[in-house]
Structure 1
């Protein structure tokens, strides 16, 4: 772990996070790796905070208002992503309701904490010392109940609440994108593809292409089902691939030589085109 705590900030945290996000793993694996990564960072923070003394109250406020909440927010966000995927209905028609239920819960959180959210969104600072410092004597009525079970050296009354606000904003945007993706998929399914294109190569060639795209996880972050992808291609290119494309894929795997014959042909054709254009 090369992330270090220096000058009241985490050095290389965002860089290491981006390396995980840009990896070839699917959405679930990325979320798991990020959770493990951030939990390790928070362990480092715990050890650091137990012994660190901020030079000024402003530095302490900056840490608990700007730095720590943004790290914890990402942990909350990716744990919520895993929960969403784990509880996602198999029936695609029920997925929008599944996502909308979570949006309702987020909106309820917003309503419950609207005054604090208003304080944050307006960039107010008059309560910062109360919310984001660890002064020994505070108004007990303003303390978040979670603080009771935590070491007072590690948190303030509102830094975790701020992390939740940040996380749920990210989550709401993520869910809205998911709902849009489902609605667009439904639009395609409902014969809204206006195309005169016909697939004139072999059916098995298209099946080879479909499997390659599915295994590359290029649709819906790898969550799209092979049958759904097949249905879209059938509609787009006006071709019936039959009910058992799995049987056709077994035939592809059983080829003695050149198993990815069509994909190899596509690559060779494109490379020839590129070479000709360069000459």
Structure 2
């Protein structure tokens, strides 16, 4: 983690997050694991900050405007996700209302902090030294933002507020996807759909096909979620692909030869059919 800080980069942090995301299929366990990882990361950052002297004001601004807020934002986001999962109603219709209520709260946060959000979105820099460096006189302008309750050596007046902005944008997208998936699943459940087709090839072959169809954006002009595509094809072909097709996709990517083995086979079979029918 110290290497990450010194390089002003989030690469190592994001790579570790991806590893956790790809190795835990249960959302609750995934969120808990990520929260634990980020909290440990922040402990390391705190120890480092107490003794670190930035080479320049610009380096300090970069850290408190770009690096720390993005790490803290993930912590806020996954804690919110954990609460959402743990407290959501069982009834689907009540779930939608529950998620919509949380979206309204996020919108209120954005309205309350619209001037600061405008500053960030417009990529302005004229207040950066005021907002994203540690100053002894920062209590003079505390009234215009939410400030993390930490040692002055570990925070600036606005880095936590920026983390909240980033986190709530991620949370809004997450909630909107939850609402969309609930609405789609209700629509599917209310549709009489019966199929006698059974997928008799390997499960990994269907997953390869699903990712190809999703990447090609052949459903809903590319707006269809891969989970929804998976659900529909599972229902159509009467097969259970399991909870974590992402793990299977990683296995596909890691193939030493022919990553698109099934798609290549399909192409060869179709070309063979076309060739035979041409005579």
Superposition TM-score, scaled by structure 2 size: 0.68
C-alpha contact 1:69 1:160 (8 A) present in aligned 2: yes
Matched, 1:199 2:192: no
For residue 71 of structure 1, what is the aligned residue in structure 2? 71
Cα 1:43–1:200, aligned 2, differ >3 Å: closer, same or farther?
A: closer
Q: Which runs of 4+ in 1 moved over 6 A?
A: none
Q: How many residues align?
A: 218
SS in structure 2 opposite 1:12? helix
Task: State the alpha-carbon separation in 1 of the partners of residues 82 and 166 from structure 2.
Answer: 17
C-alpha contact 1:35 1:78 (8 A) present in aligned 2: yes
Distance apart, 1:30 and its partner CA: 1.1
Distance apart, 1:3 and its partner CA: 6.6
Matched, 1:170 2:167: no
Distance apart, 1:187 and its partner CA: 1.2
Residue ranges of structure 2 left out of the alignment (5+ in a row): 204-224, 239-261, 273-279
Distance apart, 1:8 and its partner CA: 3.5
For residue 250 of structure 2, what is the aligned residue in structure 1? none
Residue ranges of structure 1 left out of the alignment (5+ in a row): 210-219, 223-228, 240-269
For residue 243 of structure 1, what is the aligned residue in structure 2? none
Task: State the alpha-carbon separation in 1 of the partners of residues 26 and 226 from structure 2.
Answer: 7
Task: State the alpha-carbon separation in 1 of the partners of residues 146 and 195 from structure 2.
Answer: 63
C-alpha contact 2:138 2:157 (8 A) present in aligned 1: no
For residue 19 of structure 1, what is the aligned residue in structure 2? 19
Distance apart, 1:192 and its partner CA: 6.5
For residue 34 of structure 1, what is the aligned residue in structure 2? 34
C-alpha contact 2:2 2:45 (8 A) present in aligned 1: no
For residue 187 of structure 2, what is the aligned residue in structure 1? 187
Give the greater-gyration-radius structure (CA).
Answer: 1
Cα 1:11–1:95, aligned 2, differ >3 Å: closer, same or farther?
A: closer
For residue 96 of structure 2, what is the aligned residue in structure 1? 96
Superposition TM-score, scaled by structure 1 size: 0.68
For residue 80 of structure 1, what is the aligned residue in structure 2? 80
Cα 1:192–1:117, aligned 2, differ >3 Å: closer, same or farther?
A: farther
Task: State the alpha-carbon separation in 2 of the partners of residues 44 and 23 from structure 1.
Answer: 24
C-alpha contact 1:2 1:12 (8 A) present in aligned 2: no
Distance apart, 1:73 and its partner CA: 0.3
RMSD of aligned C-alpha atoms? 3.3
Distance apart, 1:29 and its partner CA: 1.2
C-alpha contact 2:132 2:156 (8 A) present in aligned 1: yes
C-alpha contact 2:133 2:156 (8 A) present in aligned 1: yes
For residue 212 of structure 2, what is the aligned residue in structure 1? none
Task: State the alpha-carbon separation in 1 of the partners of residues 21 and 61 from structure 2.
Answer: 29
C-alpha contact 1:49 1:153 (8 A) present in aligned 2: yes
